[in-house]
């Protein structure tokens, strides 16, 4: 049987933000600011830098996202790899100045190699999956 | 096979006791109601009731062997949740909300 579950997919989220690209760039690239809206991290805006996003929704659960900076074009484009929950992907932020601020776009392009593999995986991956589910549930309430 | 909706899966797994039962079946494989009850922290009728809800959602299946009923997790029932695109779209929408809050605070 051919593996159809490994097809590439892309998520796109766009938003008009009434702030300058320079200011948004700071929020995207300075670790203490990045932590405030995304996750705790050891990010540096240098191509090839490997870093993690981490969060602990509960004391026994530790979510870790493995990343590597792929592209840095100041105030314009930022891309890094994003691996978590068996999902291998690339996240790209694009900032375009507008008359009133910035058009911010994030794309996440990637695939989940194999559902069975991801779900049959270790206890850790299950714990992470359930943590993600918890988060999703808290948002849909 | 028809898949239960994502909504049903979320509602079913939203209950912590039920989710713990399901997670144990995923990690440890087939178990009897008795074995599940021994570590569930609730009564056997309560465990049976939760297993019934999980079964209706398609998340577990049962198999009778002698006097015992063995339950096992059905990982394929989670396929609707494996559509990571909707999960991540929600994630980024929610992160962008927090980003906008942060940008407002940076003005001050």
Candidate from A17, A115, A120 with C-beta closest to B100: A17
The mean pLDDT value for B85-108 works out to 87
* Residues of B whose CB is below 8 A from A108: 88, 92
The yes-or-no verdict on residue A124 having pLDDT over 50 is no
Query: Rounded to a whole number, what is the distance in Å from the CA of A47 to chain B's nearest CA?
Result: 23
Tokens of B88: 């991540």
Q: What is the C-alpha to C-alpha distance for residues A126 and A119, in angstroms, rounded to an integer?
A: 7
Tokens of B19: 């989710």
- Closest chain A CA to residue B76: A116
Residue closest to A102 by CA, chosen among A20, A47, A23, A28? A20
Tokens of B54: 């999980």
Q: Which helix (H) or strand (E) holds B92?
A: helix B84-107
Residue closest to B103 by CA, chosen among A23, A75, A96? A23
**pLDDT value of residue B98:** 94
Q: In chain B, what is the straight-line distance between the N-terminal and C-terminal CA atoms, in Å?
A: 56
Q: What is the C-alpha to C-alpha distance for residues A113 and A141, in angstroms, rounded to an integer?
A: 30
Candidate from B10, B95, B102 with C-beta closest to A137: B10
Tokens of B71: 């339950």
Q: What confidence tens digit (pLDDT) does each residue in B58-78 have?
A: 889 999 988 889 999 887 777
DSSP helix/strand/coil, A49: coil
**pLDDT value of residue A130:** 54
DSSP A109: E
What ipTM is given for this predicted complex?
0.73
Is the Cβ–Cβ distance between A74 and A93 less than 8 Å? Answer: no
Give the strand order in the sheet containing A77-84: A9-17, A102-111, A87-97, A77-84, A63-73, A50-55, A40-41
pTM of this structure: 0.59
Q: Place A139 in a pLDDT band, splitting at 50, 70 and 90.
A: low
Are A123 and B90 inside 8 Å of each other by CB? Answer: no
Residue A119 class from Cβ within 10 Å (0-12 exposed, 13-18 middle, 19+ buried)? Answer: buried
Tokens of B17: 């006791």
Q: What is the C-alpha to C-alpha distance for residues A57 and A65, in angstroms, rounded to an integer?
A: 14
Are A87 and B95 inside 8 Å of each other by CB? Answer: no
- Cβ-Cβ pairs closer than 8 A, A with B, add up to 76
């Amino acid at each position: 049987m051919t593996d159809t579950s490994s097809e590439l997919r892309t998520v796109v989220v766009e938003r008009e933000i009434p702030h300058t690209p320079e200011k948004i760039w700071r929020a995207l690239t300075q670790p203490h600011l990045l932590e405030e809206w995304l996750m705790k991290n050891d990010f540096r805006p240098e191509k090839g830098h490997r870093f993690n996003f981490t969060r602990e929704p509960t004391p026994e659960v530790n979510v870790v996202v493995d990343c590597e900076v792929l592209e840095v074009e100041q105030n314009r484009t930022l891309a890094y790899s994003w691996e978590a929950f068996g999902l291998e992907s690339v996240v790209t932020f694009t900032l375009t100045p507008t008359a009133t601020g910035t058009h911010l776009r994030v794309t996440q392009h990637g695939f989940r190699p194999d559902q069975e593999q991801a779900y049959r995986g270790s206890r850790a991956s299950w714990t992470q999956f359930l943590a993600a589910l918890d988060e999703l549930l808290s948002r849909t309430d | 096979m028809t898949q239960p909706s994502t909504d049903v899966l979320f509602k079913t797994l939203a209950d912590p006791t039920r989710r713990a039962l399901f997670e144990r079946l995923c990690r440890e494989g087939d178990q009897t109601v008795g074995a599940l009850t021994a570590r569930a922290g609730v009564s056997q009728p309560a465990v049976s009731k939760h297993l019934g809800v999980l079964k209706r959602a398609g998340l577990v299946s049962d198999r009778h062997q002698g006097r015992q009923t063995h339950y096992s997790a059905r990982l394929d029932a989670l396929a609707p949740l494996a559509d990571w695109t909707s999960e991540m779209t929600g994630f980024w929408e929610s992160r962008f909300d927090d980003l906008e809050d942060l940008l407002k605070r940076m003005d001050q």
